Chain A
Amino acid sequence: MRLGCNARVIPFAALALMMILFTAPQCRAQFSGGEVSSASAFSIPQAQLIQPDSLNRLLQAGGANVPLMFQVGSHLMFTQAHIPGSIYAGAGAQPSGLQLLASKVASTPKNKLIVIYCGCCPWGHCPNVGPAYKKLRDLGFTNVKALYLANNFGDDWVTKGYKVERGQ
């Protein structure tokens, strides 16, 4: 039997699609099929990621849409450069950091848009955003996004010319 054109193309297209899904870092959490530790940034659902340009647009627009932002990584990096208006909330990889984060959101409405970010190292190696995201979800926050910084804060925010400030 002679296969039609589509019958020959579809398996290759499917294979190509699978390869894309399995190699795109932000997709691994959902398509790897294996267990993803909650400590991993990959544990954050893709729908809960916000891209730097999207966040920048939100900040530029101002008003009520501006999220509550927390840097959940290294304090030393926060003091060198952070997103204006963001608050240092402790390293998500450490229990003390998660405690600090919980205290910072204690009086925040559960449906408030919260954006967390770190950018200490490449997304797949970041030990902080995964636990911080889980903590906020466990506390009942329903509108939590993690800023997707593929390489680090310098590459994916600062070099793009988005605003930063220094200090505590």
Chain B
Amino acid sequence: MASVLVAGLLRATPAQVAVLHKQAPEFVRNDLSGKKVDLNAYRGKVVLLNFWATWCGPCQVELPHFAAWQKQYGPAGLQVIAVSMDDESTSVRPVVRKLKLDFPVVMGDEKLGILYGGVLGLPVTFLIGRDGKVNERIEGGADLKALESKIKQLLAQR
């Protein structure tokens, strides 16, 4: 599992590596329904922060799993937040409905991408621990088994 999770790190730029094991860059955005999403408000939870786009094939494979995990592990403290890197929200809403994504989906921008070391390929997933630190950066389609296992591990940490 470790090798799979580290694989993304080996390909990362220095700016992307710099984000790891530090406090997750703070952001506040409105989700697609206009509700405020403040990353700080989720401190104490394990946050799965996923950058995706409607035109990204591997993203569409992962997202339903993340939705299922939100249901399954939400009560234990998991919060999924998705950041769409689409240029416009009009194409995002139908996909969110179709995939039944029952977690906050916000629109990304250049600033947010750079804040997280540069989102220069999709998908990219960050796992943020209860302490607010970035625990993992997974680039490309994640090994879902390994990722779920890591989530459980982080949820077990109090």
A153 in contact with B120 given A77-B85, A122-B140 (CB within 8 Å): yes
- B interface size (C-beta, 8 A): 26
A80 close to B110 (CB less than 8 A): yes
Which of chain A's residues have a CB closer than 8 A to the CB of B119?
A: 77, 80, 154
> For residue B109, which residues in chain A have a CB less than 8 angstroms away from its CB?
76
| A154 CB to nearest B CB, Å | 3
Interface of A is mostly: loop
Within 8 A of B (CB), among A124-154: 125, 127-128, 151-154
Which residue of chain A lies nearest to B110 when distances are taken between CB atoms in the complex?
A79
Residue of A nearest to B85 (CB): A76
Residues of B near A112 (CB, < 8 A) are none
Number of A-B contacts (CB under 8 A): 85
Interface of A with B (CB < 8 Å)? 74-77, 79-81, 91, 93, 119-122, 125, 127-128, 151-155, 158-159, 166
The residue of chain A having its C-beta at the shortest distance from the C-beta of B60 within the complex is A125
Q: Assess whether B11 is in contact with A91, with CB atoms less than 8 Å apart.
A: no
Residues from chain A with Cβ under 8 Å of B56 in the complex = 120-121, 125
* Docked-complex contact B122 and A121, CB < 8 angstroms: yes
A80/B118 in contact, CB under 8 A:
yes
Complex: how many Å from CA A119 to CA B58? 14
| B12 located at the interface, meaning its Cβ lies under 8 Å from any Cβ of chain A in the complex | yes
Give residues of chain B (17-75) contacting chain A, Cβ–Cβ below 8 Å: 53, 55-59
* A93 with B121, Cβ < 8 A, contacts A76-B110, A76-B113 known: no
In the complex, chain B residues whose CB is within 8 Å of the CB of A166 = 110, 114
B153 CB to nearest A CB, Å: 27
With A76-B85, A80-B114, A154-B16 in contact, do A121 and B120 touch (Cβ < 8 Å)?
Answer: no
Q: Which 5 A-B pairs have the closest CB atoms?
A: A152-B121, A154-B120, A125-B57, A79-B110, A155-B11
Please tell me if the beta carbons of B87 and A81 are within 8 angstroms of each other in the complex: no
Partner of A152, one of B87, B110, B114, B120: B120
